[in-house]
Amino acid sequence: MTVPHSTSPFTTSLRSHLAGSLRVADAGTKVRLGGWVHRSRNLGGIVFIDLRDREGIVQVSFGTDWSTAECIAQAAAVGVESVVMIEGMVVARTGETRNSEMGSGDVEVRATVIEVVGPAETPALPVARGKGEKLPSEELRLRHRYLDLRRPELQQSLILRHRLMQVTRRHLSERGYLELETPILTKPTPEGARDYLVPSRVHPGEFYALPQSPQIYKQLFMVSGFDRYFQIARCFRDEDLRADRQPEFTQIDIEASFVRSDDILALAQGLIGALWREAGHEIPAHFERMTYQVAMEKYGCDRPDLRYGLEIKDYTETFRGIEFGITQSALAAGGRVRGIVVPGASTWSRKQVDELEAIAKGAGALGLLRVKKAEGKYDGPIAKFLTPEAQSSLALEEGSLALFVAGADRITSPALDRVRQECAIRLGLVDETARRFLIVTDFPMFDRDPESGALGAVHHPFTAPNPADMTAFPDEPHRWRALAYDIVLNGLELGGGSIRTHDYATQSRMFALLGIGDRDEQERRFGFLLEGLRAGAPPHGGIAFGVDRIAMLLSGATSLRDVIAFPKTTTARALFEGAPTQVSADEMRALHLRPESA
RNA sequence: GGGGGCGUAGCUCAGUUUGGUUAGAGCACUCGACUGUCACUCGAGAGGUCGCGGGUUCGAGCCCCGUCGCUCCCGCCA
């Protein structure tokens, strides 16, 4: 059989066109197609097969005027999800027989030949679903992933992901960034998340780790003078999972030399713009900016959703003169009273506000104080404590509800953050079509463990502290800001990075502040970075973006699993291939591992 | 590590509240009819370890204990 001529890059020696690509312009063309039987309709004298490939679906018809009886019988007998090759003529459909819901709905292929090249058993889960029909369970979809991945939605998501990767490579390459690879078998890092460990056969009792990120390697590229690096890097973290967290995930990892924060942020905005444009969205060339301090003060979190207001305000002075035990004790302990005013919420029931209080308590608050203004009067449990001065200071609008949390900022911020988000949802303030990009800067360098008081790195130990803060507060490192930044969209972190420490003395001091004061210990853990810093390191910095989340947002998927071809379950299992799995005693012995004793 | 939800036919679900004859529906599947359908339609049929194990009971899909799997959340994730 000869394959009709076509200039499509998809033309092969077996087929001429992709089924889903056929249009009216192809009418009159003889085609040979290969694809999956999406659905079929047998009307007796005429049989229809919806033939599916990655471009879409085309209707193939088998009728007595153009097909042999044997051909029609074969078409009627083939099962769904079987792979068939058909040969036929593209004809324009007329009138009622057109299907406007299909890309190829103005044509059909009148088949003269059908060959079942890959017969399918009845599929374990349906690929073609009726309108409104639910998806099979996640477990089945993962167990039969090859079938789930036939669904056009998943194919489109992965195709978009491919395009985003191509845009990334082109955008960065055009700007002088080199795509350089880093090892997957690396050195365990004591900081951060748990490592996935790989036992060494050659070196008994020693282990590699899979990288949590290529952080140190990309800094060493800068030390080596490559100047601009990027990688679409797989990263691994052995922590418990969430809907938006997989044990292995992909980052767009970027590092550049002789830069300050604004150089990296300009590049990042350009790249985000290119990615969103690829998905069909024009976005602002310059993102809004906010310091960490302002973000925490007004929104209670470091990645605020700016699609709605309900900003947090400080009501400490309003409450200072009020004889109310809860706020008095919080203020006496050095805390503040902060809150949000929710317009139109005075009608919320006691139960509805109690639910908000439960959310606040879940975030660590002792309680949620409430007062509303209805029919010109202040009302609620604390209304009778409010002096006239306090009332005029509050100045509530008619119909609004004020919610307060008292205590230290580390309590009030997360509590009010959650309450704010819930109120926005209840009031329908979240505009799903809005895109509010935000750059958050000036993160603190360190945070304190509330129990031990020990300093920890907010970003990571290689982030450079703000030199001005080091000068101004030389002995108060907890007051230092970091040269770190995050890029946020609608309350979701898309990526983050920092300018790095590039001199040995500062880096060594950072380690000391983080509890690794011993020089030998520093060398043992981070020697390969410290050596590099002593060998002539340029000022450098970078950023990393979460590819999976970006692909999820731009494809409209609701789970990371829908933009990852072969994802893991929430217990980090791969249901399709069955990993992890037990290994034989011989294999364990070769790796110098012993089974856990009872 | 902790908490919530789910698990019944190949798939999606009902049935569990109040234990009781042979566990149902839609889709898919098999057979038959049908020449313009597009979630074709119509007729007939087959299909069940009620996740698994144990217990209570004359009797368990249903009650109790344990366990496994999926999922969502808290802790965790520099």
A56: Cβ under 7 Å from strand B?
no
Q: Among all protein residues, pick the one whose CA is nearest to the C1' atom of B33.
A: A44
Determine the pLDDT at residue A288: 96
Determine the pLDDT at residue A598: 42
Query: How much is the average pLDDT of A491-513?
Result: 95
Q: Give me the percent of chain A exceeding a pLDDT of 70.
A: 98
Query: How much is the average pLDDT of A49-63?
Result: 96
A458: Cβ under 7 Å from strand B?
yes
Task: Return chain A residues 176..235 having CB < 7 Å to nucleic acid strand B.
Answer: 189, 191-193, 212-213, 215
Determine the pLDDT at residue A484: 96
Which ipTM was obtained for this model?
Answer: 0.91
Name the pTM for this structure.
Answer: 0.93
Nucleotides of chain B within 7 Å of a protein C-beta? 1, 10-13, 27-30, 33-41, 69-78
Q: Is the pLDDT of residue A516 over 90?
A: no
**A550 neighbors A114 (Cβ within 8 angstroms):** no
Q: In which band, very low, low, confident or very high, does the pLDDT at A205 lie, cut at 50, 70 and 90?
A: very high
Determine the pLDDT at residue A564: 95
Query: How much is the average pLDDT of A495-502?
Result: 96
Give the torsion through C-alpha atoms of A317, A319, A320, A322, to 10 deg. 150
A421: Cβ under 7 Å from strand B?
no
Nearest-angstrom CA–CA distance, A145 and A156: 15
Neighbours of A334 (CB within 10 A): 8
Q: Is the pLDDT of residue A6 over 80?
A: no
Determine the pLDDT at residue A109: 97
As given in the structure block, the two tokens for residue A548 are 């999976």
Give the 3-state DSSP-derived string for A313-375, with helices as H, strands as E and coil as C.
EECHHHHHCCCCHHHHHHHHCCCEEEEEEECCCCCCCHHHHHHHHHHHHHCCCCCCEEEEEEC
Q: In which band, very low, low, confident or very high, does the pLDDT at A363 lie, cut at 50, 70 and 90?
A: confident
Measuring from the CA of residue A194 to each C1' atom, give the nucleotide at the shortest distance.
B77
Q: Is the pLDDT of residue A269 over 90?
A: yes
Query: How much is the average pLDDT of A28-46?
Result: 95
- A307 half-sphere exposure, CB direction, 13 A CA radius: 20
Q: Which of A438, A159, A180 is nearest to A290 (CA)?
A: A438
A68: Cβ under 7 Å from strand B?
no
Q: Is the pLDDT of residue A16 over 90?
A: yes
A506: Cβ under 7 Å from strand B?
no
Q: Among all protein residues, pick the one whose CA is nearest to the C1' atom of B13.
A: A134
